[in-house]
A and B are shown apart, each in its own frame.
Chain A
Amino acid sequence: MSATRRRRVLLGLALALPVAMLAAASAGSVPLPFFGVLASLLHGTGLGAGAPLPPPSETILWVVRLPRVLLAAVVGGGLAVVGATLQSVFRNPLADSGLLGVGAGAALGAVAAVRLGWAGSTFLALPFAAFAGAMAAVLVLYALSQALGGGTLHGLLLTGISVSALAAAGTSMLLVATEEFRVKTVLFWLAGGLDGRGWVHFRIASILILGGGATLLAAARVLDVLSLGDEEAAALGLPVHAARLVLLALAALVAGAATAAAGSIPFVGLVAPHALRPVAGALGRHLLPAAFLAGALLVVLADLATRVISQNVDLPLGSVTAFVGAPYFLLALRQSETRR
């Protein structure tokens, strides 16, 4: 794992991401000129000499496209950081935020908000309910694992599966009882996507995701020690259970914020860190930033794909990441099985 290769990977990602974001801001049902977008951004942010786009395009860029692309980047980066964290905490290269019950809890919260009619009447009720559901699921997971045996790795994993199954059961129950005209709102959210998201979504999500991600990065050494296994970590002086719970809480916060903002975006947390681990290295301080950039790139491109393809068919963002992620997952699985 040479340092030069690591730097090259990081640099490549750091260059690719803004280009992809520019492309994503340009493409869509109303195409905007790539360099015109760049000029408008330079002008609008005061970073350089540029010029605004003609009136309707300028509004489309700044009100619709830009917050959406930024949110895509933050959500993707957040999910990837969570995946990298959980893979170290659970010492399993194929771990994902699903293990924490975040997705299932968020779905339950979202469905409850729609069933109760809040989603239609109150601004941002759906994402907030989804976030509350995600956090509630993690709290239940924490309480149960403490009550059942003090938070061993194995116990956490199995408890997470049970909590997810319970939340999914609740979601189905509420969904069946929801009026048909409201079901579509939930389905759109469940399928994952960024339609109609604006600056307010980006602001709230980015504070939680970037804050949580930065804290995880600052605690990267704890993550590394923990990834050596409970016994070695304890022998190195780490309070294993407490450290694991803090890291899981931060991961849940980031994953909850990402899921609340964009619905379920599967496989990003799995693919981005998994693909980068061999080139970026296993240490948290190397892997987390690279995974963030890769996850951001992945979701920006996936969202771009949905908008280009959706001119013909409706294609949810979550489906795009799954179409890309599931085959990758299977290939990775086969590789790890044959290596054995």
Chain B
Amino acid sequence: MTAVLEARGLSVRRGARLVVADVSLVLAPGEAVALIGPNAAGKSTLVRALAGLLPPSAGEVRLRGRSLKDCGRDGVARAIALVAPDEAPPATITVAERARLGRYPHRGPLRPFTAEDDTAVARALERSGVATLADRPLATLSAGERQLAALARGLAQEPAILLLDEPAAHLDIGHQLRLFRVLDEVRREGVGVLAVVHDLPRAAAWAERLVLLAGGRVAAEGLPAAVLAGSAAGEAFEVAIRAEQLAGRPVYLFDEKPSPRG
């Protein structure tokens, strides 16, 4: 498998602080990777750097073997979609209108939208489960519905790589399962999907590979069961993790670790 997206020795500073330090990781087409890690581990920063939104202070991100800075902003946007928590888009724009703006990388400021764009938008709305909300202004939606609307915009982009920052944060369990099913469908079509996931059992159930980020560095990487069983995960989250089998599926139990006192 060749990498569609690759970080090589990537470091990112925010102000004077080194938030991502010397991270190397690879995303192959059709691969599902969950990025896990405690709060302030640098997950969101890493995802934004992978999307080309934050410049590396060292190292580089390569898209299909080319450095992101040589791909051009529009070239990057045609290949990589980022779905991040809402930045409060204008309240009166509708779900469908916002999804349509996901076609901007393909059409630019002036070329008119075509039937191809209509199809991509309709499909993205359908898949994200917001087709019935298409004409609703964003202000009238719940947080979870807005999150699905953001996903619809990302899917309408028809990217080769889908990056998501906590896509399930506000979703009820039914919508969570639906979201990860959609991500699986997208992945099977050959899109490389990397998502920041806070819910570790969910991450382990969905992803083919976990990347554990702690203190801006990759602390562990590999098959979900192996990463969660390893000592790095317990140390990073300061919990004890125990895996059990229930109905043939792994179940994870977490216990607070007493903080070491002298």
Chain A residues packing against B (C-beta within 8 Å)? 1-2, 88, 91, 93, 218-219, 221-222, 224-225, 227-232, 234-239, 277-278, 281-283
Contact = CB atoms under 8 A, between A and B. Distances in A.
B78 A237 contact: yes
B101 A228 contact: yes
B105 A236 contact: yes
B65 to A, nearest CB: 20
Contacts of B125: none
When A and B form their complex, which 10 residue pairs have the shortest distance between CB atoms, in order from nearest? A237-B77, A229-B87, A237-B74, A282-B93, A282-B92, A235-B82, A237-B105, A228-B89, A236-B104, A222-B109
A4 to B, nearest CB: 12
B95 to A, nearest CB: 11
Interface in B85-122: 87-94, 97-98, 101-102, 104-105, 107, 109-110
Contact of B73 (A231, A238, A283): A238
A225 B101 contact: yes
A224 B101 CA distance: 8
A234 B102 CA distance: 12
Contact of B110 (A218, A231, A281): A218
B187 to A, nearest CB: 20
A88 B88 CA distance: 12
12 contacts: A1-B92, A1-B94, A91-B90, A227-B89, A232-B153, A234-B73, A235-B77, A236-B104, A237-B75, A281-B92, A281-B94, A282-B90
Given A218-B110, A282-B90, A231 B101 contact: no
Contacts of B88: 91, 229
Nearest to B74: A237
A239 B104 contact: no
Given A231-B53, A236-B101, A236-B104, A219 B109 contact: yes
A277 B51 contact: no
Contacts of B107: 221
A31 B257 CA distance: 88
Given A225-B101, A236-B102, A238-B73, A231 B84 contact: yes
A228 B98 contact: yes
Contacts of A224: 93, 97, 101
Contacts of A93: 90-91
B25 to A, nearest CB: 19
Nearest to B102: A236
Nearest to B76: A237
Contacts of B97: 1, 224, 281-283
Nearest to A221: B109
A1 B157 CA distance: 23
Contacts of B102: 236
B137 interface: yes
A20 to B, nearest CB: 26
Nearest to B113: A221
A88 B92 CA distance: 11
Nearest to A339: B139
A236 to B, nearest CB: 5
Given A235-B82, A238-B73, A88 B101 contact: no
Nearest to A278: B92
B90 to A, nearest CB: 5
Q: Which residue, of A91, A230, A236, has the highest number of chain B Cβ atoms within 10 A? A: A236
B135 interface: yes
B85 to A, nearest CB: 10
A228 B87 contact: yes
Given A221-B104, A224-B101, A283 B110 contact: no
B221 to A, nearest CB: 25
Q: Which residue, of A224, A228, A277, has the highest number of chain B Cβ atoms within 10 A? A: A228
Contacts of B49: none
Contacts of A229: 87-89
Nearest to A279: B92
B81 interface: yes
A239 B91 CA distance: 23
B93 A227 contact: yes
A237 B104 contact: yes
Contacts of A88: 90
Contacts of A236: 77, 101-102, 104-105, 157
Given A221-B104, A225-B104, A228-B101, A234 B90 contact: no
Contacts of B84: 231-232, 235
Given A225-B104, A237-B74, 19 more contacts: A1-B92, A1-B97, A1-B135, A91-B88, A93-B90, A221-B101, A221-B109, A224-B93, A224-B97, A228-B87, A229-B89, A231-B87, A235-B53, A235-B77, A235-B81, A236-B102, A237-B75, A237-B76, A282-B97
